[in-house]
A and B are shown apart, each in its own frame.
Chain A
Amino acid sequence: MFAWLKGPGKAFRKPLPGSSNYLSAYDRQGNLIRKGREERDDRGRFADLGEDEVLKETEDRDGLPKEGARDLKPYPLNAQFKSQPVLSEDLRRAINELVTENGIDLKAVSAAFGIDVRRVAAVVRLMEVEKAWEQEGKPLAKAYNDAVLAMLPTTPYRPSNPPAHEPINDLPVHPWTRQQIFLPTSESRVFTRADAAKTFHPSLLPADERIAHPELVQIAKWEHEGFDRETRQRLMREKDSESVARKEMKEYKRKQWERRTQVTVPGRRWDFKFQDISAEKVNKDGRGHEAVGIRYGMPHEDRKKGQFKIPTKVE
């Protein structure tokens, strides 16, 4: 053990600057494998970057080449596990600034940096928490944060040519798709993902529509079709403005509906809020469970599959 610690294991005492430092990046003698590969493929990877950007990034790593896919396997016996990059500190700050100070739409930021919109939202929320803690004088675990970030691969902040952060091909596994089904079909039938989803459950969406970041997928499709970067961004902006308009229309309709069907009558101690509803939603058999009021002779559906009592939003 001590032989290893003094020999090949010495490389793991200190993290490599600006890079991950996993076991699989070294050979048995403790040599960094990618040093030998340096000359061959470094040029190809940075073909789309400016000269000074390449220089700066290489400088951050003390002249080492960037880690490739095979250097990002922390467990040598588990070749399938690849360490995914996390957002660098600069990128987090840039995202927060773009969203909170410049007021840029979350979706636009997500599309520009290739980050899932939920992650962008999480960054903004967590930065708010961080600011609040700083104001309260709560200590932040900065040393821990820095240590972890120094060990993990990170996505750098490059405003001119941002690298994509998320792999967009990951499909979320829905619990309903975990069962094994043998479905006989004719050979001539074209069996698509939509058919597969229908087989699992009639109301299950196809895998393509269950992807949590359809914007990133759309951008990748445009890229595949050969649109250049400006065109893609313009198309994305158009899509964004459309969705904003749709949201505003929905909100306007809701306001109109409230004005039409609601009235609040001030009482002596509290207000009485009246809501005009339709008593005909009970259907002809009088059992429609969407109707207002408690139904007679109808069992509750609250133990049925897919009924959630945990609130999903906070007002």
Chain B
Amino acid sequence: MVLRLRLARVPGPGGAKRHRPIYNIVLAQARSARDSKPMEVLGMYDPVPKETPGAKEGDRKTKEIKVDVSRAKYWLGVGAQPSNTVWRLLAMIGLVEPRYLPTGQQTQNALKAVRFPVHQNAGTSGKTRGEKAAASKSMKGNTMVGKGEIGAGTTSPMNPNEA
């Protein structure tokens, strides 16, 4: 059986709600039920776009994703398969190459010029990058810096004043 990184719809803190989905990002056996206990909870995904605190009228809303990047990387490294949705989310921060890209000459040229960070050696640095790739790079770089600073390298900090 294969391990999957997938979403599991869970009842929120106030109990199960219609029209108010909230998902755990979990690692589970592919053939196990959605609601069964997963092997590991890697984070959560709130698919309902919310206004950021202090936002003005017409500001863009945000969808919140919390994920343990180092654990996700580890499980991808040992062959866990992300589901389509999780693949899309993880691609945004450069943990996997995007599964679907807009087709056409422009995209082909862009892909020739830029490979995604997962396919690059640690030493090489990209030149001109797309928005997504830049974002992913910064996230990866940031987390790596973070690990170095913390020391143990196993946990990401959750408390801003801890580390």
Contact = CB atoms under 8 A, between A and B. Distances in A.
Q: Do A and B come from one complex?
A: yes
Interface of A: 250, 253-254, 257-261, 263-267, 269-282, 290-297, 300, 302, 315
Interface of B: 10-14, 22, 24-26, 37-38, 40-44, 49, 53-54, 60-69, 71, 89, 92-93, 131-132, 135, 138-139, 142-143, 145-146, 149, 154-158, 160-161, 163
B163 A257 contact: yes
Given A275-B67, A302-B13, 18 more contacts: A254-B160, A254-B161, A257-B160, A260-B143, A261-B143, A263-B142, A270-B62, A271-B62, A272-B63, A273-B65, A274-B93, A275-B65, A277-B156, A291-B41, A293-B44, A294-B10, A294-B24, A296-B41
B43 A279 contact: yes
Contact of B43 (A261, A290, A292): A292
B161 A271 contact: no
Contacts of A302: 13-14
A285 to B, nearest CB: 13
A136 B22 CA distance: 44
Contacts of B37: 296-297
A133 to B, nearest CB: 25
B144 to A, nearest CB: 10
B11 A294 contact: yes
Contacts of B132: 265
A254 to B, nearest CB: 4
B139 A274 contact: yes
B142 A292 contact: no
B122 to A, nearest CB: 18
Contacts of B12: 294
